[in-house]
Amino acid sequence: MALQANEIRLLRLDYGSPEEHTHLKLSFERVFLTNPDLPPFVALSYAWGDLTKTSPLCVSKEDIPATSNLHQVIQTLSASRFDQLLWVDALCINQEDQHERASQVTLMGDIYSRATYVLAFLSPESVPFDLGLDFIERAASDPGLHFDPSLSPHTTVLGLNIADKVVQDSLIGFFAAPWWTRLWTVQEFLLAQEVRFQCGQRLINAKVVQHSCKTWIAHEKGCCWAAGRARKGNIHGFIDNPSEANGGLTLFAAIVRMKHLIDISGIGKFNTTDFLTAISLFRTRHCSNPHDRIFGLMGLRLPGSDIKNALPVDYSMPVNFLYRDLAMTLIEKSQTLDVLSHVLHGPGLRNRTEDLPSWTPDWGATMGDDYHLQFVERTDKMLNLDKAGDMTPEWRLDSSGCVITRGLQIAKIEATAPGYPTGAPGSTLKGKPLIDKWRQLAGLPIGPEVSAYEDTVQDKREQAFQKTICGGIVRNFGSHSFPEAYQRWTEWFSHAELESLPARSKEATRGFNGCVRMATLGRSVIRTEDGHMGIGPESARMGDLVFFLPGGKVPFVLRKVGLSPASTITYEFVGDVMFDEVVVGEITNSQVLHFEDIVII
């Protein structure tokens, strides 16, 4: 029988009496979320697994296909005589009824927020994760403990520390569980009053995991990064060693999986925690249906998540139309062009969605974890710089799917150079040759000894260059001034011998490298015909044009492709760009603007 408005099914596990020795019986109970007497229930959060390999579960005398992962969940819960009402999406929603599925998706926010707690099921086993869970609990109990074993006091478990491979594999294994890579688990986690992770019969509260990860992040940024990090020039060292037992996942990448949840929850250090940020932050997570890149986060209660009123859940809509309409809705709702900074056209993206407009982010494309991490941190900082003018977007979609807007051409790209080396096959310039290329692009001599800045044209150009490759972040790094930190960084970057640097220089090197990497990884260093140096899209090339578009906080790179039927110049959108001196607010307030009508395909 079809569900009514605000009605859901809950699963009951009935074990019978001990004397009867009956098999587990599963049955549904129907309840209304709006009922003041809503019974307590637990909401299950888990990774579905392989949808092509299912076997039936009998619920209320009806066979329902269930993946092997769900069978393992039910078996593990029944082994512990779990006796609470349970909401399980794969069972409690009729997956064959598209209308019911769409209507229940809109209730996800209420379901997960009203559950007594959310049970995040990671594995039917606990033994592989016991050491890692012990390490997490120990670190959370004493934030003063270092995780770097060369420092005292540091976290140990059974006499072992984080440098021991068995501890690393166990800890990384906890974060390597498929739950951490599934998109739907994001809102299931964030909406919950409480989350409990389950591995076999072992439970750990999510607040304990969050607390330990925040402690490690704080230590990693300060005291615990220097020791043991010179392996083959790797600035992170053992925390970047891949765990073969966990598909090559590193400790650093593992902790980032919790960090993203911390960031979007508002207890992290992200400047913005809105719906657009959430989509971007979790775009590397997996979902079986590309529509769920959007629909799977609509239950979040974040600024901008009210787009569901303008963008209803409709699984019959073509994916390219969904992503395009989302971009249009975000522009209209925010009255900014922030969504355009999430457009990526470089080789770092794979499995692209077909027939997308050039100005629409491809939320379904895949990218590497490191590429993604640097991108989201860079975008968060860039879009929160005080550079916005007072102009609102002029962004109109025509019948062909092109955008009609106005733009002010402010520069033309004369030359480009690759950004920070990725380490991937085909990555070209590295080390000193790359720094030399950047300096040549900026019109600077190769390898000068940098001291405090003087008031000369050359020194101002040097200062602008160093500021640009750091993404506009100018500060002291430890006991080193900004130019001193640049000098220490160039020495390390050119030779990758971190151990040869004194401890105070390691701190400056690590900090400066983090800024350069965030600003330029997956990007191009560019120079315009009028001499400005900036950081732009990876796919930018000589001859591309730089425009200011009303509603944008940063300039954008466009590529001329022809004329529209109405003889308006037509462009392809390439990406955003940051310059050393071009400030959008100054442009809009300091001169009479001569905008032209343009079309973006």
pLDDT of residue 114: 96
Four-point Cα dihedral 173, 178, 181, 187, nearest 10: -110
Give pLDDT tens digits for 47-104: 999 988 999 999 999 999 999 999 999 999 999 999 999 999 999 999 889 889 889 9
- Residues 6+ away with beta carbon under 8 Å from 422: 348, 368, 370, 371, 521, 522
Task: Read off the tokens for 596.
Answer: 């032209």
Mean pLDDT, range 13-41, rounded to an integer: 87
Say what the pTM is: 0.87
CA dist 241 and 139 (Å) reads 21
Mean pLDDT, range 565-588, rounded to an integer: 76
> Which H or E element spans position 561?
strand 556-563
CA dist 262 and 210 (Å) reads 7
Return the domain boundaries, the chain: 7-123, 396-414+531-600, 421-520
Is the pLDDT higher at 123 or at 220?
123
CA dist 70 and 53 (Å) reads 11
Is the pLDDT higher at 455 or at 426?
455
Is the pLDDT higher at 460 or at 403?
403
CA dist 352 and 345 (Å) reads 10
Give pLDDT tens digits for 256-275: 999 999 988 876 555 567 88
Give pLDDT tens digits for 219-240: 877 777 643 344 344 444 677 7
Q: Is the dihedral of CA 172, 178, 181, 186 positive or negative?
A: negative
pLDDT of residue 232: 41
Is the pLDDT higher at 424 or at 39?
39
CA dist 549 and 390 (Å) reads 12
Q: How many residues does the chain have?
A: 601
The three-point CA angle 194-176-116 to 5° equals: 15
Q: Which pLDDT band, with edges at 50, 70 and 90, does 503 fall under? A: low
| Phi, psi at 579, each rounded to 5° | -110, 165
Q: Which pLDDT band, with edges at 50, 70 and 90, does 184 fall under? A: very high
Q: How far is CA 358 from CA 41, 280, 329, 420, in A?
A: 45, 17, 16, 25
Q: How far is CA 455 from CA 20, 57, 460, 461, in A?
A: 90, 77, 7, 10
CB atoms < 10 A from the CB of 541, how many? 15
* Burial track 425-447 (b if 16+ CB lie within 10 A, e otherwise): eeeeebeeebbbbbbebbebeee
Give the strand pairing for 556-563 and 545-548. antiparallel
- What is the pLDDT of the chain when averaged over all its residues? 87
Do residues 363 and 295 touch, judged by C-beta distance below 8 A?
Answer: no
Do residues 187 and 160 touch, judged by C-beta distance below 8 A?
Answer: no
Give the strand pairing for 523-528 and 202-205. unpaired
